[in-house]
Structure 1
Amino acid sequence: MATRNTVLLTGFEPFGGDPVNSSWETARALDGAELPGGVKVRALQLPCRFGSALGALHDAIQSQQPRLVLALGQASNRRALSLERVAINLIDARIPDNDAVQPIDVPVVPGGPAAYFATLPLKPMLQALLAAGYPAELSCTAGSYVCNQVFYGLQHRLRRTVVPSGFLHLPSLSGPEPALPLERLVSGTRLALEVALQPPAALAAGFSAGQIS
């Protein structure tokens, strides 16, 4: 039976030659954190491997029965917290994964819908991040690598449930001048989770529409 007292927060192992992955460092830092309402964060590291990432995610959802799921990923070319709006049913890997596998032009779920939208309250989350001084944006592409595979697989897995879910891309921590330090990635992700857990009525009352595209 679902207890609905946990949030599942996932991040990826390092890939592409980076020594760390900002998504896992952020998720790991929030593991065990208590959010409003006594909801606990449970972090899970996903493999950056097409053959096993979704299996690990599905197992965690089955065992934890979370109230909400937010998957994190690293986007080295971004300078802001990117709330992803849509996952596409496509894998088109620009580089091999950590198993040296590089699928080209194959579906995430054969026969599945072309796309799924996130079911998180993205615009209230964005508004809260911007108001708190975080560089943040809405994004209409999660790419076509393992991040998008996980995002699409997550939405497909939860499509007949009431569990909100989605994907947040974070800037990399590598290089001499990261866009954001780890502390800001952690606090920004926590704020996004806190907003996502609010009741719909509270979100509607506090959301100013019309200014965020």
Structure 2
Amino acid sequence: MILLTGFEPFGGEPSNPSWLAAERAALLLREQGRDAVAVELPCVFGQSLDALEAALVRFRPDIVVCAGQAGGRSRVSVERVGINVDDARIGDNAGRQPIDEPVVPGGPAAYFSSLPIKACREAVAALGIPVEVSQTAGTYVCNHVFYGLMHLLARRENSRGGFVHVPFSTEQGEAHGQPGLAIDLMAEALATIATTAADTGADLRATAGAEH
């Protein structure tokens, strides 16, 4: 079973491309004969993890790919690491704005993705979709969910997961004067990341670092 998640709209946006793409990716996977489901998460600290944990209990997935919007980025970003800190520049959809609070009190400083991130990057790049390995998932609800997911999966031996940021949609990008990407391409990328993760054991040994 493959579980994909995306977020509800936030920050005044009328839609969230991460959810639209996750929903379409699950459909693509089912058309390929894969067992897949998509779940929309609230863009709220705490509540998002509650909804994610409920989905893990309900669907018992082998692969989890959580997605979130990163307006301003130009590429699909396969995230490498989630850190144990909530530090919100803006309030979430419930008005919560934590500052320097842990995602999980007493938890490790960070968790690495358990997806084969470089193999995923190569598979998406082969489709001609702009993609990168990212070294930061921020400190907002996306990172909150990424870190929380990995903390939950640390107790599940047969499940692997990680986080992917997607750019603004094409329409959002045009409205904001920022890079944008078609929802269908995002969905194809998420589906490819999920299938690559499901079918790949050891990750590729390839350069995907950053100087800053």
TM-score, normalization: structure 1? 0.89
Distance 1:188 1:69 in 2: 14
Who is 2:173 aligned against? 175
Offset at residue 210 of structure 1 (A): 3.6
How far apart are the structure 2 equivalents of 1:159 and 1:125? 21
Offset, 1:115: 0.2
Consecutive unaligned residues in structure 2, runs of 5 or more: none
1:149 corresponds to which letter in structure 2?
A: H
Does the 8 Å CA contact 1:13/1:46 hold for their aligned counterparts? yes
- Letter of the 2:49 partner, please give it: L
2:135 matches 1:137: no
Q: Distance in 2 between matches of 1:102 and 1:133?
A: 38
The equivalent residue for 1:52 is 47
Q: Mean Cα displacement is larger for which, 73-82 or 123-132?
A: 123-132
Give 1:52-71 correspondences, 5 Å limit: 52-71=47-66
Aligned with residue 19 of structure 1, among 14, 18, 22: 14
Asked if the contact 1:28/1:43 (under 8 Å) is kept, the reply is yes
3-state SS in 1 of match to 2:144:
helix
1:74 corresponding residue in structure 2:
69
Q: CA deviation at 1:35?
A: 5.6
Aligned mate of 1:121, from 116, 119, 128: 116
Question: Post-superposition shift, 1:179?
Answer: 2.1
Shift of 1:142: 0.3
Change over 3 Å in CA distance of 1:28–1:34 after alignment to 2? closer
Q: 2 CA distance for matches of 1:155 and 1:129? A: 23
Give the partner amino acid of 2:182.
P
After superposing the two structures, state which structure 1 stretch, 153-162 or 106-115, moved more: 153-162
Residue deviations 1:124-169 (CA, integer Å, cap 9, x gap): 1111112221111011110000000000000000113231100000
Match of 1:3? none
Which runs of structure 1 show a deviation greater than 2 angstroms over 4 or more consecutive aligned residues? 30-39, 209-213
Structure 1 residue 36: deviation in Å? 9.2
Work out which of the residue numbers 116, 139, 161 in structure 2 matches 1:165: 161
Amino acid in the other structure paired with 2:64: V
For residues 59 and 94 of structure 2, the distance between their equivalents in structure 1, rounded to whole angstroms, comes to 27
Q: What is the Cα-based RMSD across aligned positions, in Å?
A: 1.8
Report the CA distance between 1:40 and its aligned residue: 1.6
Distance in 2, Cα, partners of 1:121 & 1:135: 18
1:91-106 → structure 2 map (5 Å cutoff): 91-106=86-101
Q: CA deviation at 1:94?
A: 0.6
* Contact 2:173–2:180 under 8 Å retained in 1: no
Partner Cα distance (1:164, 1:129) in 2: 19
Judged with a 3 Å threshold, the aligned counterparts in structure 2 of structure 1 residues 129 and 37 are, in CA distance, closer, same or farther, namely closer
Q: Give yes or no for contact 1:32–1:40 (8 Å, CA) kept in 2.
A: no
Q: Please give the TM-score of this superposition, normalised by the length of structure 2.
A: 0.90
Residue identity over aligned pairs, in percent, reads: 45
Distance 2:136 2:200 in 1: 27
Greater alpha carbon shift after TM alignment, 142-151 vs 130-139 = 130-139
Answer 1 or 2: which has greater helix percent: 2
Amino acid at match of 1:175: G
- For these two proteins, the number of residue pairs brought into alignment is 203
Cα distance change of structure 1 residues 128 and 32 upon mapping to structure 2, 3 Å threshold = closer
